[in-house]
Structure 1
Amino acid sequence: MELIKCSIDNCNLKNNGLVATIGQFDGIHIAHQILIEKVCELSEEKDLKSAVITFDPHPDLVLKKDANATSIMTLDEKAALIASMGIDYLIVVEFNQNVANMTDSEFVNQFLIKLNVKEIVVGFDFCFGKNGIGKAETISKLANGKINTTIIDNKTYQNEKIGTAMIKKMLLQGNVSLANKLLGRYYKISGEVKKGNQVGSTINLPTANIEIGENDAKIKLGVYASRILIDGNYYYGFSNYGNNPSFNKRDHFILETNIFNFDGNLYGKYITIELIDFIRDERCFNSKDEFLAQIAKDKEVAMAICQKEFK
């Protein structure tokens, strides 16, 4: 897959025609995957190249709809997953006020037509152009028939639209198992292992600590069963997201992970933690003994969850 970063008025790509889909694709959940799979299907059927068109930075940040807009995945993670699905091009368009001010007709004729899009696949609620005036069903008409449009129906879970907002809500509520189901994979957090206060080492509970970025989706404070990817190898463990209220309470939140059957120095190493299921809320303990007794229970629960999940 080729990654192309461009502005809306200077997106040069030599091609014989594209089958494309457009959107933020944050999380690339199971509804997104249907769109991308349809693009690949039409690409093969029409003998055209396939493309996913997305925007960076997030439109909500530029339009100031949400100054604290968060993302389920980084652009690099998004690119890697889209590449694995067989797409030829990921086109990342710089989103700015010029893009926001384009009319629906300008977006179609000055961008999609110039990009040589022949077929477009979008969701039922796709909108574009200033104030979202353009709708999925108007694309072909605005393009004077030069673009064929395939509209994918609404995908729901228990009568609620499957979407990024729903998954973020599940993560914040601690319903990781449902978030994973809607993502079609485990929700993961990657980062560089930082040195913590090293309390864990004094109680035979060493942890790998990584920070969750301010632009990353928020998760519920508490303990999770987890799977950890280190240098291409998977390990099981359990993770706590919080500020360590029982010992040397911090003024910020950290994801601390105890990794089963691992003995090594991870400081400065980049690791990935997959959250498998939520175990319990974060608690403040009255004594070290009370804390250690609960940790032993957490470890037992986490091991059982991982053994069942990956048997």
Structure 2
Amino acid sequence: MTSEAPAAPSVVIIGNFDGVHRGHVELAHTAARSEPNTRLVAVTFWPHPMSVIRPDRAPLLLTSLPRRKELLHSVGVDEVVVVDFTPEVANWSPEKFVDEIIRPLNPVRIVVGQNFRFGFRAAGTVQTLNELSHGQWTVQALPLLTDGTVPSSSTLIRHAVAEGDFGRVRELTDHVFRYSGVVVKGAQRGREMGFPTANVDVEPGMAVPEDGVYAGWVTRQDSADAERWPAAISVGSNPTFAGESRRIEAYVLDRDDLELYGVPIAIDFYLRLRGQVKYEGMPALVRQMRLDVEQARHLLAGLEEH
């Protein structure tokens, strides 16, 4: 009878990591520096714990799970362990959480924020995590990273996204805000007006900028060498034409030859151009769209890719 070999030693960071802001990056970098020859493992949760514990208070998510993994890997994480957060897991004691999730990773060090809590009713603290180590690991708690006034947090990023303040998003995260989805067929009015758009539905539970027009980029996500194109992006229900559901529509500048129906794309938001306005008919809307496109082209020209 054989038993499984123990996992290779690891240094572990734990958190929701929604948006992967600068505080999360500091956790990863500190962990990597502290144990430079050890694999770096990030433990995260899906869905967001609040959506299970208090659904009425669950925050809008800044990143899909694949995007969260991508961002964590980009800052040096070797492996992302996703805890399927169910009502059963929500009722785990701190001891059970450690035994089921943490101990099998064979950590030599665990790095968390100083406000880290875990287990049923958040009973576990940094001190609890240290006590449960039984000498197997060291616990390092980092103070919350601030910009000089307030700590970095996913909540701050959500506010910035909601307001279309993408300069602030980049300050807090060091990357652009990205919304991903599969292109769906719309009313095709954009094509009629000379601005064919790639339309993506707004998913419940995901953070989306307020209604308006933005400059940014579109990237195909169905191939490794996917192109990235500058775009003018609209968020909203298109009030000039009543009765439409809320969507994100991206016009790739100067391209009317793209066939993207059914294709997964990423839409990166760089700057807000204006709010959404109801126009008196299509001619007025077309005139404004031409202005939006020229403004987006001017703003994005020469920018280094983010």
* Structure-2-length-normalised TM-score: 0.89
Match for residue 251 of structure 2?
258
Q: Which residue of 2 aligns with 1:42?
A: 34
In the TM superposition, what whole-angstrom CA distance separates every residue of 1:162-201 from its partner, at most 9, and x where no partner exists?
1111111111111122113212111111222111111112
The answer to which of 68-77 and 164-173 deviates more is 68-77
Structure 2 residue aligned with 1:223: 213
In 2: Cα distance, 1:121 partner to 1:251 partner: 47
Shift of 1:32: 0.7
1:22 matched to 2:14:
yes
Q: How far, CA to CA, are the matches of 2:196 and 2:228 in structure 1?
A: 18
Contact 1:103 1:129 in 2 (8 A): yes
Q: Match of 2:56, SS?
A: coil
Residue-pair matches, total: 297
1:114, distance to aligned residue in structure 2 (A): 4.3
Report matched runs for 1:170-185 at 5 Å: 170-185=160-175
Give CA-to-partner distance per residue, 1:242-282, whole Å, 9 cap, x none: 11111x32341011111113222222222211001111110
Give secondary structure in 2 for the equivalent of 1:170. helix
Could you tell me which residue of structure 2 aligns to residue 161 of structure 1? 151
- Answer yes or no: is 1:118 the counterpart of 2:108: yes
The C-alpha deviation readout for 1:68-108, integer Å capped at 9, x for no partner, is 54211111222223233332321112222332223334433
**Matched-pair identity in %:** 26
More divergent stretch after superposition (206-215 vs 68-77): 68-77
How far 1:124 sits from its partner (Å)? 1.6
In 2, Cα distance between equivalents of 1:74 and 1:110: 25
User: 2 CA distance for matches of 1:110 and 1:192?
Assistant: 36
CA deviation after TM superposition for structure 1 residue 303, in Å: 1.3
Alignment of 1:269 onto 2:263 = yes
Does residue 1:296 correspond to 2:286, yes or no?
no
Quick check: 2:235–2:246 contact (8 Å CA) kept in 1?
yes
Distance 1:302 1:177 in 2: 15
Aligned to 2:238: 244
User: Which sits farther off after the overlay, 57-66 or 118-127?
Assistant: 57-66
What is the aligned counterpart of 1:93 among 83, 91, 100?
83
Distance (whole Å) between structure 2 residues aligned to residue 13 and residue 292 of structure 1: 65
1:148 to 119, 127, 138: 138
In 2, Cα distance between the equivalents of 1:84 and 1:154? 21
Q: Which amino acid aligns with 1:26?
A: D
Q: Which amino acid in 2 is paired with 1:127?
A: R
User: Against the structure 1 CA distance between its residues 250 and 14, is the aligned structure 2 distance closer, same or farther, given a 3 Å change threshold?
Assistant: farther
1:207 is matched with which residue: 197, 203, 206? 197
> Root-mean-square deviation (CA), in Å?
2.2
Q: Aligned partners of 2:219 and 2:100: how far apart in 1? A: 44
Instruction: Write the letter of the residue equivalent to 1:103.
Output: S
1:280 and 2:274 matched: yes
Distance 1:310 1:142 in 2: 47
Q: Alignment partner for residue 73 of structure 2, among 77, 83, 88?
A: 83
SS in 2 for 1:268: coil
- Unaligned runs of at least 5 residues, structure 1: 1-11
Equivalent residue of 1:213, what SS?
coil
| 1:309 aligned residue | 303
Q: Compared with structure 1, are the counterparts of its residues 218 and 68 closer, same or farther at alpha carbon in structure 2 (3 Å cutoff)?
A: farther
Is the CA contact (8 Å cut-off) linking 1:189 and 1:212 kept in structure 2?
Answer: no
* Amino acid paired to 1:291: L
Deviation at 1:158, TM superposition (A): 5.4
Look up the match of 1:3.
none
Query: Alpha carbons of 1:196 and 1:109: their partners in 2 closer, same or farther (altered >3 Å)?
Result: closer
- The answer to whether the Cα contact below 8 Å between 1:19 and 1:48 also exists between their aligned partners in 2 is yes
